[in-house]
């Protein structure tokens, strides 16, 4: 956009400058409109000859004494006789006396009704190239002395007192830019005020991968006023739309969040104060900010901060971020701005971020499963990172009643590379009573299994790790409960849609968990696999019904007790097809194998399972006699 506007200004300035040189010379000699109009006709003819195209100007007036210039009805065609540049009115009033002090003081300037149509085909030159070539100097640049170079470095200062711009319409290939109105003025004490109304634009760009990216922007109104040395700025209806012309990432995947960096539709309103500004520095205070993305669901109710800005970094202070059920604050932070020239990368850090949050606020953009999560959580965390990493330290989360407490730290790496994304967190300690755990689980919009068994665990403690990788989630750690401890390791594979893992316990009062008081403490290890594919499980449930998880468990019971009987080294298997779970226990001994088959149809009524014990004898004396007799019969045959 900046390049486009500079190009337009260069072309427009070239025409105006050449005309003004001729007309100002005439005005010095004779400051009358008749002479100016005759010279206008002559100047227009020179332009036509130089550009070899049609150039029309309705009228020009120059008042040399006041140095007031008015140009009406400029019309320039390109070499294909298409309208390239049109301007209804260009007006300029300068204070010549200020030029002696190397200052350009524009007392009054106005631009109205400018239409620009620029085209640059892929296989040909741009339609404006002939203008650039016509005004380009063929003379080689003369060598300058050191004094001349220093003099050239002394730039003219520009001071605009009154500026009015209206109806600017620019097209560059498929890009468009339109401005209805811009007013700017300085009062007698130098106080500034300005207003922009109805600005909009559309820009198409190819990404590095050769895909089209369309950006649309719009602004209803921007108002600027100066009070006590500060600039007060209000922005109404700033609209930003991004479209990569690809299917949205959550298309056909309702479980996935709506956030998609290639599809945005943000409407924002804001007010901020510019406390100070100078060369490469500024200090602003955001006093009000509201923004909502209708596509991804981001909804910021307010954002406030003070920012000190220079070429290298941004220093933030007194930051508050508010969503519907979330308020987070931090005292200070710093952002080091990236620069290829200086070899700097984006780096940022914050002081402790603290506040309250409801996870439903991030459900639509990131995790629809959190859409009903309204339990307020209190949060503390420190954050730092780069453009590709994030580090979270000193994480502390608790409920308002302090029944849930969690301390952790973690990191996110390879943010820009989807297949290398690596999210890891270590939970140093988490404790919660089962009632709070059940309340939290009930906030998730998912099917729940074995909730009755969960309630029997008492207070739960956890230490461990979780990792979110490309199409895979991993959880492991030590679970501490009132009925025993258990180490676990499980993986959710998003490619195969299976959850698998293993558990190990040296002592777990399984009978209390299953509401089977005759079963005592159990020491065991087990591995398991369950199907979490909705299409596969739906097909099975249509055929067989049922509400059980679908999968299997293989376990070895190192030690267990049933009533007053203790057993060791028992192998166990459970296979569930969703409608019924069939289990088998076996303990192999020298002469007698103890066997047991069992089944159940609901995890909420495991204590009502059907049990069928069995015994298998082997290596008994009569079995040996039978074997010998059978062998003898075979030989006789």
- pLDDT per residue as tens digits for the range 408-460: 999 999 988 878 889 999 999 999 988 888 788 777 655 666 667 777 788 88
Confidence bin at 42 (pLDDT 50/70/90): confident
Confidence bin at 158 (pLDDT 50/70/90): confident
Mapped onto helix, strand or coil, the DSSP state of residue 300 is strand
Residue 450 domain-assigned (yes or no): no
* Residue recorded with tokens 């002395």: 145
Residue 602 domain-assigned (yes or no): yes
* Residue recorded with tokens 């089977």: 516
Long-range contacts of 531-538 (CB under 8 A, 24+ apart): 531/497, 531/498, 532/492, 532/497, 532/498, 532/499, 533/497, 533/498, 536/497, 537/578
Tens digits of residue pLDDT in 352-375: 999 999 988 888 888 777 788 888
> Which of 172, 206, 223 lies at the terminal end of a domain, its last residue?
172
Question: Which carries the bigger pLDDT value, residue 160 or residue 584?
Answer: 584
- CB neighbours (10 Å) of residue 324? 10
Q: Are 573 and 553 in contact (CB under 8 A)?
A: yes
Residues 6+ apart with CB under 8 A from 336: 312, 313, 344, 345, 346, 347, 348
Residue 560 domain-assigned (yes or no): yes
Residue 314 domain-assigned (yes or no): no
Confidence bin at 318 (pLDDT 50/70/90): very high
Question: Which carries the bigger pLDDT value, residue 197 or residue 68?
Answer: 197
Q: Is the pLDDT of residue 583 over 60?
A: yes
φ and ψ of 91, to 5 deg? -135, 145
> Which of 139, 172, 205 lies at the terminal end of a domain, its last residue?
172
- DSSP H helical ranges for 30-86: 33-51
Mapped onto helix, strand or coil, the DSSP state of residue 92 is strand
Report the pLDDT value the prediction gives residue 516, as an integer from 0 to 100: 79
Residue-wise DSSP of 3-42 = HHHHHHHHHHHHHHHHHHHHHHHHHHH---HHHHHHHHHH
Residue 394 domain-assigned (yes or no): no
Question: Which carries the bigger pLDDT value, residue 623 or residue 379?
Answer: 379
Q: Are 552 and 580 in contact (CB under 8 A)?
A: no
Q: State how far the alpha carbon of 407 is from the alpha carbons of 360, 393, 423, in Å.
A: 21, 10, 17
Report the pLDDT value the prediction gives residue 303, as an integer from 0 to 100: 96
Report the pLDDT value the prediction gives residue 435, as an integer from 0 to 100: 85
Report the pLDDT value the prediction gives residue 171, as an integer from 0 to 100: 94
Interaxial angle between packed helices 2-29 and 33-51, expressed in degrees from 0 to 180 and rounded to the nearest 10: 130
Q: pLDDT exceeding 90 applies to what percent of the chain?
A: 42
Domain extent at residue 590: 485-637
Q: Is the pLDDT of residue 31 over 60?
A: no
Residue 584 domain-assigned (yes or no): yes
User: How many whole angstroms separate alpha carbon 551 and alpha carbon 574?
Assistant: 8
Q: Is the pLDDT of residue 272 over 70?
A: yes
Burial class (CB in 10 A: 0-12, 13-18, 19+), 395: buried
Residue 40 domain-assigned (yes or no): yes
Report the pLDDT value the prediction gives residue 117, as an integer from 0 to 100: 93
Long-range contacts of 65-74 (CB under 8 A, 24+ apart): 65/31, 66/93, 67/93, 67/94, 67/95, 67/96, 68/92, 68/93, 68/108, 69/20, 69/23, 69/93, 71/16, 71/19, 74/15
Mapped onto helix, strand or coil, the DSSP state of residue 317 is strand
Tens digits of residue pLDDT in 229-249: 899 999 999 999 999 999 988
Q: Are 515 and 528 in contact (CB under 8 A)?
A: no
Report the pLDDT value the prediction gives residue 296, as an integer from 0 to 100: 87
Residue 550 domain-assigned (yes or no): yes
Split into its structural domains, the chain has a count of 2
User: How many whole angstroms separate alpha carbon 182 and alpha carbon 223?
Assistant: 10
User: How many whole angstroms separate alpha carbon 120 and alpha carbon 129?
Assistant: 9
* Residue recorded with tokens 């207070």: 459
User: How many whole angstroms separate alpha carbon 480 and alpha carbon 490?
Assistant: 17
Q: Is the pLDDT of residue 479 over 80?
A: yes
Report the pLDDT value the prediction gives residue 359, as an integer from 0 to 100: 85
Helix (H), strand (E) at residue 531: strand 521-531
Residue-wise DSSP of 606-634 = GGG-EEEEEEEE-S-HHHHHHHHHHHHHH
* Residue recorded with tokens 């940022």: 348
Question: What are the tokens at 596?
Answer: 């047991």
Spatial CA neighbour of 458 closest among 441, 480, 440, 476: 480
Q: pLDDT exceeding 70 applies to what percent of the chain?
A: 85
Q: Are 391 and 385 in contact (CB under 8 A)?
A: yes
φ and ψ of 534, to 5 deg? -65, -45
DSSP at 96: G
Mapped onto helix, strand or coil, the DSSP state of residue 262 is coil
Q: Are 18 and 43 in contact (CB under 8 A)?
A: yes
Question: What are the tokens at 21?
Answer: 């040189």
Q: Is the pLDDT of residue 155 over 70?
A: no
Report the pLDDT value the prediction gives residue 483, as an integer from 0 to 100: 87
Spatial CA neighbour of 544 closest among 598, 573, 580: 580
Spatial CA neighbour of 571 closest among 560, 583, 557: 557
Question: What are the tokens at 426?
Answer: 């270590």
Report the pLDDT value the prediction gives residue 152, as an integer from 0 to 100: 55
Full-model pTM? 0.78
Report the pLDDT value the prediction gives residue 397, as an integer from 0 to 100: 95
Cα–chain center distance at 436: 32
User: How many whole angstroms separate alpha carbon 615 and alpha carbon 288?
Assistant: 78
Q: Is the pLDDT of residue 5 over 70?
A: no
Q: State how far the alpha carbon of 599 is from the alpha carbons of 515, 584, 609, in Å.
A: 16, 9, 6
């Amino acid at each position: 956009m900046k390049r486009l506007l500079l190009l337009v200004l260069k072309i427009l300035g070239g025409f105006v400058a050449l005309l003004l040189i001729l007309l100002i010379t005439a005005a010095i000699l004779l400051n009358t409109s008749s002479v100016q109009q005759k010279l206008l006709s002559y100047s227009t003819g020179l332009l036509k000859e130089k550009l070899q195209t049609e150039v029309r100007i309705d009228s020009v007036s120059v008042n040399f004494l006041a140095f007031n210039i008015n140009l009406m009805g400029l019309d320039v065609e390109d070499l294909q006789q298409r309208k390239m540049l049109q301007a209804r009115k260009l007006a300029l009033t300068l204070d010549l006396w200020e030029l002696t002090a190397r200052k350009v003081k524009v007392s009054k300037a106005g631009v109205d009704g400018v239409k620009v149509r620029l085209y640059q085909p892929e296989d040909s030159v741009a339609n404006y190239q002939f203008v650039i070539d016509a005004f380009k100097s063929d003379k080689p640049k003369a060598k300058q002395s050191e004094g001349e170079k220093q003099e050239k470095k002394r730039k003219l200062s520009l001071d605009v007192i009154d500026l009015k711009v209206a109806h600017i319409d620019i097209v560059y290939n498929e890009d468009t830019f339109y401005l209805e109105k811009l007013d700017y003025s300085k009062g007698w004490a130098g106080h500034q005020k300005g207003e922009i109304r109805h600005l909009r634009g559309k820009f198409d760009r190819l990404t590095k991968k050769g895909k089209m990216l369309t950006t649309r922007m719009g602004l209803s109104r921007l108002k600027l006023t100066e009070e006590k040395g500060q600039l007060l700025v209000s922005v109404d209806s700033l609209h930003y739309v991004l479209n990569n012309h690809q299917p949205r990432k959550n298309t056909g995947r309702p479980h996935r969040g709506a956030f998609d960096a290639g599809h945005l539709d943000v409407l924002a309103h804001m007010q901020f104060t510019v406390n100070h500004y100078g060369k490469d520095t500024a200090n602003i205070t955001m006093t009000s900010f509201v923004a909502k993305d209708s596509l991804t669901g981001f909804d910021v109710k307010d954002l406030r901060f003070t920012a000190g800005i220079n070429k290298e970094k941004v220093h933030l202070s007194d930051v508050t971020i508010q969503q519907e059920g979330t308020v987070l604050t931090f005292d200070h932070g710093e952002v080091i701005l990236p620069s290829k020239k200086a070899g700097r990368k984006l780096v940022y850090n914050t002081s402790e971020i603290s506040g309250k949050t409801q996870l439903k606020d991030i459900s639509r953009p990131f995790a629809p499963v959190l859409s009903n999560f309204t339990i307020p959580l209190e949060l503390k965390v420190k954050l730092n990172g780069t453009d590709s990493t994030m580090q979270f330290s000193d994480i502390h989360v608790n409920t308002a009643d302090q029944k849930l407490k969690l301390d952790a730290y973690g990191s996110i790496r390879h943010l820009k590379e989807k297949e290398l994304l690596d999210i890891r967190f270590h939970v140093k300690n988490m404790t919660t009573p089962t009632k709070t755990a059940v309340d939290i689980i009930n906030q998730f919009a998912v099917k729940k299994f074995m909730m009755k068994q969960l309630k029997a665990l008492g207070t739960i403690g956890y230490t461990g790790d979780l990792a979110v990788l490309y199409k895979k989630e991993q959880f492991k750690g030590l679970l501490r409960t009132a009925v025993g401890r258990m180490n676990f390791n499980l993986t959710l594979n998003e490619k195969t849609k299976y959850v698998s893992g293993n558990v190990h316990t040296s002592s777990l009062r399984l009978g209390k968990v299953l509401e089977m008081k005759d079963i005592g403490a159990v020491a065991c290890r087990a591995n398991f696999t369950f199907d979490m594919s909705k299409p596969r499980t739906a097909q099975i449930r249509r055929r067989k019904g049922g509400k059980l998880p679908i999968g299997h468990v293989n376990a070895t019971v190192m030690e267990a007790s049933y009533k007053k009987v203790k057993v060791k080294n028992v192998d166990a298997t459970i296979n569930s097809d969703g409608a019924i779970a069939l289990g088998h226990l076996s303990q192999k001994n020298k002469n007698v194998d103890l066997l047991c088959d069992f089944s159940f149809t609901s995890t909420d009524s495991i204590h009502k399972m059907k049990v069928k014990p069995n015994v298998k004898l082997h290596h008994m004396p009569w079995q040996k006699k039978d074997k010998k007799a059978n062998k003898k019969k075979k030989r006789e045959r």
